[in-house]
Structure 1
Amino acid sequence: MGEPRAVILRIVKRNAVSPSGRDGGRGGAKGGAVSLDPRLREPQALAALRTAFRRDGAIAISGALTAASLRALHAATSRGFTRTFVPDRYSYGAMPLHADMGGIVSFVESITGSSSKMSGLGAIPAGSVARFGHGDYTLLHDNLPVAPAHRIVAFVVIDDWDASSGGDIVWTRDGETLLRLSIMKNILYVIREEKGSRAFVKYVNHRAGRTSFRLILLS
């Protein structure tokens, strides 16, 4: 079957979408829906995102959420995590996702053309919040399901992060790396997993200190 196709990320910076957009400061995780930067819904931006996703199978949208929504998600996920730990499989903090992400989900569906329920990220279930700090990871193992064709994974990163601390998200198949994602604040990743691939989060090393990052997985 030859070498697996390399998946290339296309990053659409919010300032490049439309100079006329404004962050109205509304929308949040409590008392309202989480809101996207409105410029991303403009026809030209949507067309560019759909084209990039069809071509590459993976897109990264920086500055995806409004400032108000990002602040609200920070507040709503600042506490309440439960340690999820199975030796040699995974270790991270987990909590249910209570925020109204319906608008973000419909936006992702408009890009991918799929209304199927979104999938989790390796060992992390869809519709949840995962927090990774020093010593956390997820690993590939025999019980981790492989991706069928056309499975969609989408998640938002809401924290700043030093790449030297680890925590990259990696997809592999048959021992080869297909895709590696870096952790960056306020970025929406939309991934069409390649058939037979599996994903994991690399070990977060001592350089993280007391810092951590959170992933908001859509469902």
Structure 2
Amino acid sequence: MTESAEKNFPAYSHLPLSNTDDNNLKRFIVITSIKPDLWSYISEAIKKRVEQTIKVMEVTSLIEYRLTKASENIEDVKSYFISAIAGKPDDELKKLVKESPSPLLVNKAINIFVESGSFASAYNNGVNILLHHGEFIDDDGLKLVFEKSLSSSWRGINQILNAGGIGDVFAELYLKTKCKVLDHKKLWKDFWEELNEKGFEYPPLDALMTTDGLIIIDPVDA
């Protein structure tokens, strides 16, 4: 590390980055996910080595070494990360999205959910992928979830809205999107009305929206 880095980050001054192997570079990435300011103190040569190391990492390593966390805070690492996952097989990307909740992967999480081709995959993708990224979903993302959920169809059957347990998924998503989604109430009420028109009822979601005063359930229909 540079003299300036050693002065500002004495706890990490022992790291011999210029002569280190790829495994130690990966460990350094973990440190930068916690202390992103360290990045500005390393040389361009080391940054290039980090770039090459990241670009050839397998998905298991991207998860293990917390690449999403470092990428969220360091633009260079973000660029390396995006390049690293480009072209990865769908099953590998799905594993990454499942294991590494991040605003950088939220759109991929949404796409995996809305493209579910069976009742089981819709529920599993909802629980294990979409909800893991729920706190990062913004207004546009939520609109996409709703639009694609309403239009889902395989052999004339909606694979998402008819999935067992999907009401619990929507209820949890309702809670997780409260903070980031600016037009939360309107978007959810509009979605609920479209569900109602199509004949879909989800008691867990109804209960939350009733408590928040968004809807009124007729006792006769409840």
TM-score by length of 1: 0.26
Q: Which has the larger radius of gyration?
A: 2
The answer to which structure, 1 or 2, has the higher relative contact order (CA under 8 A, 6+ apart) is 1
Higher share in strand: 1
